[in-house]
Amino acid sequence: MTILLAGSVILPIFFGAPWHPLRPSTLRRILEFAEIQPGETIVDLGSGDGRVLIAAAKDFGARGEGVEIDPIKVWFSRWLAKRAGVQDRVHIVRGNLFDFDFSQADVLFLYLTHQALDRLTKDRVDRLKPSARIVSFRFCLRGLQPDKIDPKKTLFLYRMNRGRNFDGLA
């Protein structure tokens, strides 16, 4: 059991980011900051225990798509989604976030390290649809000017409709 739990917390550090659960007040702040609208699809890359997606579905009427590398968190998040009654609107798969197709996202939520964000920005993020927005918690996307920053300077919102050019970043 100890080995399983240690693996669940420590191993993801080497893949993209360690797990750090969000407090309920922070979760609420993130979803309000992201301007989530009913029916929108929010994608969480490295979805942890699914709390962002579950709250977005339950409290904001959104659809949630998540990818998580740790099978224990995937199992647990699906169980939590079912318990919250949103299993029909929250879909979480086990996999590597760098291989996940998030092109249908209205909101791409990221709580990852700078290293993971750099790789993602350079390789993939410009495939988002023009109406999409990216919300990054704690870490900004290096080299890009955010459209909105929260007063605590822990949330960064980027709108794709500005004709952003990601070439040559990081």
CB of residue 1 to ligand SAM, shortest distance in Å: 18
Q: With binding defined as CB under 6 A, does residue 64 bind ligand SAM? A: no
Residue 93 corresponds to which amino acid?
A: V
Instruction: Pick between residue 93 and residue 103 the one whose CB is nearest to ligand SAM.
Output: 93
Q: Where are the beta strands (DSSP E) in the chain?
A: 41-45, 63-68, 90-94, 107-110, 133-137, 148-149, 155-159
Between strands 41-45 and 148-149, the pairing is unpaired
Q: Does residue 55 touch ligand SAM according to CB under 6 A?
A: no
Q: Which residues pair with 41 in a beta bridge?
A: 63
Amino acid letter, residue 97: L
DSSP state of 128: S
Both tokens assigned to 43: 């994608």
Residue nearest ligand SAM by beta-carbon distance: 46
Query: 151: Cβ–Cβ under 8 A, 6 or more apart, which residues?
Result: none
DSSP 34: T
Applying CB under 6 A, does 28 fall inside the site for ligand SAM?
Answer: no
Contact range with ligand SAM by CB under 6 A, out of 17-25, 55-63, 120-128, 157-165: 17-25
- Residue closer to ligand SAM by CB (options 72, 161) is 72
Cβ of residue 143: shortest distance to ligand SAM, in angstroms? 21
156 binds ligand SAM (CB under 6 A): no
Select from 29, 51, 124, 133 the one that contacts ligand SAM (CB under 6 A).
Answer: 51
Summarize as ranges the residues that interact with ligand SAM (CB under 6 A). Answer: 12, 15-17, 19-20, 22, 44, 46-48, 51-52, 67-70, 73, 96-98, 111
